[in-house]
A and B are shown apart, each in its own frame.
Chain A
Amino acid sequence: MSMQSGTPEAPLAQPGPTGGGTSRALVAQDGLAPRKGQASGPLHALGPVVRVTHDAISRYFTAVIVGAIVVAILVTLKQGGFTLAGQQLKNALVLGAIYALVAIGYTMVYGIIELINFAHGDVFTAAGFFAVFISGLLHLDGLAASGFGGLLLALAIVFPLSMIAAGLVGVVIELVAYRRLRDSPRLAPLITAIGVSFFIEGVLLLVEGPDNVPTDQASWINGTAFTIGKINILWTDLFVVGMALLLMFALGEFVRRTRLGKAMRSTAQDRTAALLCGININRTISATFFIGSALAAAAAVIYSINYGDIKWNIGFHLGIIAFTAAVLGGIGNIVGAGIGGFIIGLIYVFGGSIFGGEWSESLIFAVLVLILTFRPVGLFGVEVTTRA
């Protein structure tokens, strides 16, 4: 039943429940990933033919996903020509950028304390409302409308302030709901995470009401940047994708190069060992929550500028999809979550375009099932060294 012989990506280590003993450990040892000894997947019990097929799909899973997306783009080209395919590609990248930013928050928290922070999507929503509040308080709408300099200034104000506010929310959530349960059975913090999610949604519903709330930020950036054929590329499209890539790059550099980033990586790898090396675990975990939530806030501001409205419960749903992106990329892997977000965006838009919008979400969750069956570590799960 072992996969030692056939697959180079197969688990080489037998990590303990709190983190890998070696730097080549698979990221998800428990919960979402198969336990040691079961890494070859449940389908293996069904017989040699199934096993061979399973192993083949597992091995070439990335190729399968990429191939499917390429086929989908070709089908769309045939269906509606260059214009439709180009427009859908644009739609997919815009959607994927937002999923990617939210997915990173999930993956960071999972990487460091192995908790699926279900409240993360709601932090996104709350941050969107913070941004509305901040821009209302400081009259940023007028500033943003006053010209390019004003817009930059408004963005330079609203991004950091919302990110700090949401980051603090994330820190408080960790402090109140997760810290005391850090060594409890895995189910306990999962339940409090769902509790926190409901709590935030309830507060937002009470304060903001049940309807979409216009943020007035959609007018900050408008107009068409350029046109390719009949495809209009709007400034907001460029802003959304560019800002997401910039933030992801900045985070990557932060985790790779700073002391805190190093502390996060070592805490993720082995908390006890990190503690022995003198790393302040609590502070590191708080910092992780702060950064993850701040990225959700950035995503929320970007969302608000792109769509122009926000609603008390959008975060939960968006969060679940982003969570799928995180699993696709290999939960715990930051780069994987970013790429996973874009892949999910592509699946959502092209799947909806070809099969009908009602299938978009079914396809995404079908992909989730496929990953968990064939490649529970995700597309990039093996690159443990970059996780945080």
Chain B
Amino acid sequence: MVTPTKGLLSIATIAALGALAACGTASSTTSSGGTSSGIAGCKGTITVATDLPLTGGDATDGPYVEMAAKLAVTQANAQHLMGGCTLKYESKNDSTVLKDGHDPAQGEANITALAADATVVGVVGPFNSSVALAEIPVASQNHLALISPANTNPCLTVVVQVCSDPTININTASLYPGPHTYFRVIASDVQQGEIDAYVAAKVLNATKAYVIDDQEAYGRGLALLFTKAYTTTDGGTIVGSASLPGTTTSFATQVSLAQSEGAQVIFFGGTSGNGCGLVRRDMISGGLNIPMLGGDGCQDTKSITDADSGSNKSASVGMYATSAPDVSKLSSSASFYTQYASNYSSVAAPYNNAMNEPYTPYGYDAMNILLQAIHAVLVANGGQPPASSQTFRDKVVAQLRLTQYDGALGHTSFDANGDTTNTGFTLYKVASGAWTGDGTYAVDTSGNVTLKS
């Protein structure tokens, strides 16, 4: 039950805190949050956690998000957001050496361990949809709130057509043996596919598309969602498609086919590690200079390096990709980036700059949303944590459903499935060897895409 007053109060405290952190002085103890809501007498320990891939191939993504979430906890502690209660933070790593990155089995073990700790009331994570598949049932059974900063697979929360595709095959209902405790602060691939289709048809003016995917749940799912939106809503034609494993080293066969079929754009559903840039390299060396479009899995420097590794050193020009909204341009995120920079000024590069990873502010907002919910539960419960840990967790989940949060990402609230209502993707294109924003698009519930900024 968040009243507008409390919502505003939260924003005010965050803002005040931001100013403090920016100055590097944490001497103030006159926190408005603690005293005014009567939780100064709160007794006990409350633990929040992150579960993210921190090592191996994911070391280029996960640590930023972890540090951003940790920053939110540090700030909450400085502000005594939980009053007299001790707020602890625990970080879990779901990367393993075996997988050289995120590992669903490790994620499941991490959530199981966190759920067994009665003081843990909520977790920010995971980063990858495949890990989420393993973690959501455990969190659900244990009534533990799980807020993902980056999962875009739609089937984690809602049943859409692609969920039954053999390569994806996700039974959404079976993910929730207990209550629905999963939330995410990023829009799903349903919206991304719709925006990609719009971009292909209306921005790149292509009526014929050739579609390639990387056979993985994310890439294949996005390709199918793109195909559906492109052929129905945007009236385009798919002239051919191929589904190739991540080990593919040459896409020359597909490029020749696309050329023969008169494709005007190639859509790649997949990650850069699975060939995004290589498709572009082979397009240019095969003489097929039409635009190439991908999703957020393509929007990184790896794609550009791969595309330019062929004989044409500017092959990457002509690559487009949608990705997490470029929030660095939002005024709401400016203070976050400053706070991150000042708090982690002593950390070695590149981790000292939050801008190096688009998902950094998502980790920050996810943790703040969790902390605000816990705070609200304490306040509503007379300043004390509920007696039983399960009641506490249930109340936090119920509180998260009511979230109306204004943070770095703009305004976030959750729909009945735990999906954010803050939907939007930025279109990026390659210009002089780097991705540059080319407009942010939003999509409404009936699939109408509009240019936001």
Contacts and interface: CB of A to CB of B under 8 A. Distances in A.
Contacts of A210: 56-57, 100-101, 273
Interface stretch (B123-131, B252-260, B321-329, B440-448): B252-260
Contacts of A251: none
A351 B334 CA distance: 53
Contacts of A37: none
Interface string A214-252: 111011011000000000101010000000000000000
Interface stretch (B22-30, B175-183, B307-315, B343-351): B307-315
Contacts of A219: 311, 313
A357 B242 CA distance: 5
A314 B249 contact: yes
A308 B315 CA distance: 12
A356 B260 contact: no
A357 B311 contact: no
B306 A309 contact: yes
Interface in A305-329: 307-309, 311, 313-314, 317-318
B287 A232 contact: yes
Given A317-B247, A356-B242, A81 B260 contact: yes
Contact of B277 (A212, A353, A358): A212
A84 B323 CA distance: 34
B256 A205 contact: no
A161 B310 CA distance: 23
B302 A80 contact: no
A360 B253 contact: yes
A94 interface: yes
Contacts of A356: 241-243
Dominant secondary structure at the A interface:
helix
B254 A357 contact: yes
B281 interface: yes
A212 B306 contact: yes
Contact of B243 (A87, A94, A358): A358
Nearest to B273: A211
A164 to B, nearest CB: 25
Interface string A88-108: 100100110000000000000
A215 B244 CA distance: 24
A361 interface: yes
A349 interface: yes
A352 interface: yes
B1 to A, nearest CB: 48
Contacts of A311: 249
B310 A308 contact: yes
B162 interface: no
Interface string A43-85: 0000000000000000000000000000000000001110110
Contacts of A81: 260
B311 A222 contact: yes
A307 B249 CA distance: 8
B32 interface: no
A358 B305 CA distance: 25
A333 to B, nearest CB: 26
Nearest to A211: B302
A318 B249 CA distance: 9
Nearest to A303: B249
Interface in B270-313: 273, 277-278, 281, 285-287, 302, 305-306, 308-313
B259 A218 contact: no
B280 to A, nearest CB: 12
Nearest to A224: B287
B310 to A, nearest CB: 4
B250 A307 contact: yes
30 contacts: A81-B260, A83-B260, A87-B286, A88-B253, A91-B250, A95-B252, A210-B56, A210-B57, A211-B57, A211-B302, A212-B277, A212-B302, A212-B305, A214-B305, A216-B309, A218-B309, A218-B311, A234-B285, A236-B285, A236-B311, A308-B309, A308-B311, A313-B247, A317-B249, A348-B253, A357-B251, A357-B254, A358-B215, A358-B243, A360-B253
Interface of B: 56-57, 100-101, 212, 215, 241-245, 247-254, 256-257, 259-261, 273, 277-278, 281, 285-287, 302, 305-306, 308-313
The 7 closest A-B pairs by CB, nearest first: A357-B242, A80-B260, A308-B309, A214-B309, A222-B311, A84-B260, A87-B256
Given A212-B305, A214-B305, 6 more contacts: A212-B302, A218-B309, A309-B278, A313-B247, A358-B244, A360-B253
